[in-house]
Amino acid sequence: MTPPANGILIGYARVSTEDQDLSLQMDALAKAGVEPARIYKEKASGANEDRPAFIAAFKALRAGDTLVVWKLDRLGRNLGRLIQTIDRIKAKGAHLRVLTESIDTTTSIGVLMFHIIGAFAEFERNQGIERTKAGLAAAKARGRVGGRKRQITPDQVAELQRLTRDEAEGGEGVPVREAAKRIGISASAAYQELRRIAEEAGADDLEG
């Protein structure tokens, strides 16, 4: 059972590009009661595997603490991975509060919203499986069995996913290029494989 929210507030703010301003999120987090020194901020795409500020914020969480973000999509763009992240926050005995959505896992309504999001994530996963099967069936009908030929082995795929996944999600948070170098494949092949995995999972981009 998750401990009550009697700890500290830890903020996380992110924008996708260098020319975007963090001020709006910083002001909202401060207004919510997060001390400026406890706000972790960075400029990185939600699809970027290298997000050191987010990893640092996650590591700073202790049981009873609450991670505060401006919008849910600040935590990531892939809905499935987003649910994983929230699950890991809960596993630490910490809470999540999203300022612009009705999500606050310290309240019963917030927990309900969390489960609704989880239901949508499960729906998206099932839709992705159906699309993948349909794609393979179409490829077979055209005389191509097994779909697109992979450039890397299944073991390398698994290791690539593990290395590039955020630490908050059970990985090492290694940049894609470094992960590719470690397992002995090209960076382009690594990016292509990660895109393929996302497409087959049916992951929608929350940021559009």
Active site residues: 16
Bridge partners, 96 (sequence order): 67
Residue 9 and residue 147: Cα distance in Å, rounded? Answer: 47
Q: 13 phi and psi, to 5 degrees?
A: -125, 140
Q: Tell how far CA 92 is from the center of its chain.
A: 17
DSSP one-letter string for 55-94: HHHHHH--TT-EEEESSGGGG-SBHHHHHHHHHHHHHTT-
Q: What one-character DSSP code corresponds to residue 188?
A: H
Q: What one-character DSSP code corresponds to residue 2?
A: P
Residue 72 and residue 95: Cα distance in Å, rounded? Answer: 13
